[in-house]
Amino acid sequence: MKFFVDSAEIDEIRELAETGLVDGVTTNPSLIAKSGRDFTETIKEICSFVDGPVSAEVTSTDVDGMVEEGRKLADIAENVTIKVPLTWDGLKACRAITQGGTMVNVTLCFNANQALLAAKAGATFISPFIGRLDDIGLDGMDVIQEIRAIYDNYPDTLETEILVASIRSPNHVKLSALAGADVATVPPKVLRDLTKHPLTDKGLDAFLKDWKSTGQTIL
């Protein structure tokens, strides 16, 4: 499973990218606003050191506006992926932008039917928001499993990758991987938290104490 960082904070993304664990980045207007930086310059800088897809979201809601914005954003760098909402106009824009040779991430997906439509429209990625489904009392992972089953039924015609979004915890990442999702887009904190386990910390502490008691050094 690929990891995308869900952030617009340049320094944070750069640090994580240096680990070799980052396969791409997702941004949205809210994350850009939070960073306080210029939208276009932020996307351009991220693309300069991240080789994988970098999602940049359109702000228009009509098909013509989305296509126009999408083409402008695609000019920033070859690895820009255009994010469009899962609306009727968004699906039309997805089709047009994809046919122009640019990757498209259809976002704000909340059920399998929507994901099927996005795949039919040629989406490169579909972004189901599992955390927001959990927030309203549903199980977001059920949707991931349903989408995976539908896509797997038609491997020759539905090539869209499942990009799990609105991830809140390491458990969401694990369940996404178990369900066969292609990508997890994770906040930086969640990505770092994947390394953590109390027994790892306890074991390392014991090893270091034992090593110190020998009075030896490696260097």
List the domain boundaries for the chain. 2-214
Using CB atoms within 10 A of its CB, is residue 70 exposed (0-12), middle (13-18) or buried (19+)? buried
The 10s digit of each residue's pLDDT in 42-94 is 999 999 999 999 999 999 999 999 999 999 999 999 999 999 999 999 999 99
Map residue 151 onto helix, strand or coil: helix
Q: Residue 28 CA to chain centroid, in angstroms?
A: 11
- CATH match of 2-214 with 3.20.20.70: yes
Whole-number Å distance between alpha carbons of 144 and 128? 7
With a pLDDT cut of 90, the percent of the chain lying above it is 95
Which residues participate in catalysis according to the annotation? 83
Distance in angstroms (rounded) separating the CA atoms of residues 15 and 56: 20
Select from 108, 45, 113, 111 the least CA-distant residue to 79.
Answer: 45
